[in-house]
Amino acid sequence: MNSKVQFRMFTIFDLDKVEDYLHEMHLKGWKFKSNRFGFFYFEQCQPDDVVYCVWNTSYLRKNEVDLQRIKDRGWEFVGNCSYSVFRKANNLSRIDGIRYGVRLGGEAGFDELYIKTRTEGFGSEVKRRIITGNYILSKELSGDCYENSLKARSRVEKDVENVSSNKENAFELEMDVMPAQATKTGIILYNNKGEKVDIYFDMKRGRLVMDRTESGKVDFGEQAEPHKIEKEFDLHKHPEIKEPFRKLNSVNYKNDFALGTWAPLTLCDADTYHLDIFVDKCSIEIFVNGGRIAMTNLVFPTQPYTSIKFYSDGNKTAFKNIKVSELGL
């Protein structure tokens, strides 16, 4: 069987780019085997639409429940390196038991063919999806499923409006955040015009992000030109990458300016994160665990941020010891 080795430079914060790269290679007929020191090893296979899921290995070691949940949902574990790699087919139509794969029975007609093939040939994941799909689509139960989904949504999103009413519109927000099983959880600061700043924990990539893409006036870098030092760094460190490394390693890069900034959570190495956030008319400062992480960004909303939304991706998380203090002269 033919094999191939390619060198690609990814950081632990580029897991989504690793997923896209492995998916693209599988579409071309190269199945991922392992990775070591930036070298990706593949073996030749039939081109197929197989999706990959890449997780921070250190996170999964601390959260074995999440690891088991991933496997229970039909993801095949491929291997560990600096990150953990899983994969599965993008759809299940190719394993209907009749066109492809195992085919059993049939002497007594199509009924026997389908019953035997799907009983013995379908795995637990396929059967689970069929049963779940029929349950949700049934006329009697669809309303209950929808109502329960709305209830679940209300549990993972909570708005607190008008936290600041003084003329300076400045306040301090303190809290303890325990992401637990959540892969993304955080808060959104927003105003009546829908302008917002999203501050969240990306547990999958192991980073704290402050995203100001929709914070108000954001055309910061419209006339920007990268410094000579930035250009030389890109060429020296990553000559094989067509796009500048500063763009690949940023959040929502626009007009040569990163509208989102992030810091690695390895600086804290904790299960609970104490956030101390200072908000005023044109800046937001974040301190995590007494300054282990410190982040400051300018913002230019057309109205001050006066409300907060707490949210999670639907998995268990907790916000505790929340305290809001108005600031003024």
| Domains with residue ranges and CATH for the chain | 3-90 (no CATH), 158-327 (2.60.120.560)
Q: Which residue has the higher pLDDT, 256 or 270?
A: 270
Residue 93 pLDDT: 44
pLDDT tens across 112-147, in order?
766 777 777 676 766 777 777 666 555 555 555 555
Q: Write out the chain in H/E/C secondary structure.
A: CCEEEEECCCCCCCHHHHHHHHHHHHHCCEEEEEEECCEEEEEECCCCCEEEEEEEHHHHHHCHHHHHHHHHCCCEEEEECCEEEEEEECCCHHHCCCCCCCCCCCCCCHHHHHHHHHHHHCCHHHHHHHHHHHHHHCHHHHHHHHHHHHHHHHHHEEEECCCCCCCCCEEEEEEEEECCCCCEEEEEEECCCCCEEEEEEECCCCEEEEECCCCCCCCCCCCCCCCHHHHHHHHHHCCCCCCCHHHHCCEEEECCEEEEEEEEHHHCCCCCEEEEEEECCCEEEEEEHHHCEEEEEECCCCCCCCEEEEEECCCCCEEEEEEEEEECC
Q: Which residue has the higher pLDDT, 217 or 168?
A: 217
CA distances from 17 to 13, 22, 52, 257 (A): 9, 9, 11, 20
Weakest mean pLDDT among 81-85, 239-243, 277-281: 239-243
Residue 201 pLDDT: 93
- Please check the confidence at residue 16 and state whether its pLDDT lies above 60: yes
- Please check the confidence at residue 275 and state whether its pLDDT lies above 90: yes
Read off the tokens for 323. 């305290």
- Please check the confidence at residue 33 and state whether its pLDDT lies above 80: yes
Residue 39 pLDDT: 87
Average pLDDT score, the chain: 76
Closest CA to 217 of 259, 274, 164, 276: 259
Highest average pLDDT, of 42-56, 216-230, 237-251, 285-299, comes from: 285-299
| C-alpha to C-alpha distance for 7 and 214, rounded to whole angstroms | 36
Q: 154: pLDDT confidence band, cut at 50, 70 and 90? A: very low
Residue 187 pLDDT: 93
| C-alpha to C-alpha distance for 44 and 310, rounded to whole angstroms | 46
pLDDT tens across 185-244, in order?
999 999 889 899 999 999 888 889 999 888 888 876 556 565 565 555 555 455 555 555
Residue 249 pLDDT: 52
Residue 99 pLDDT: 47
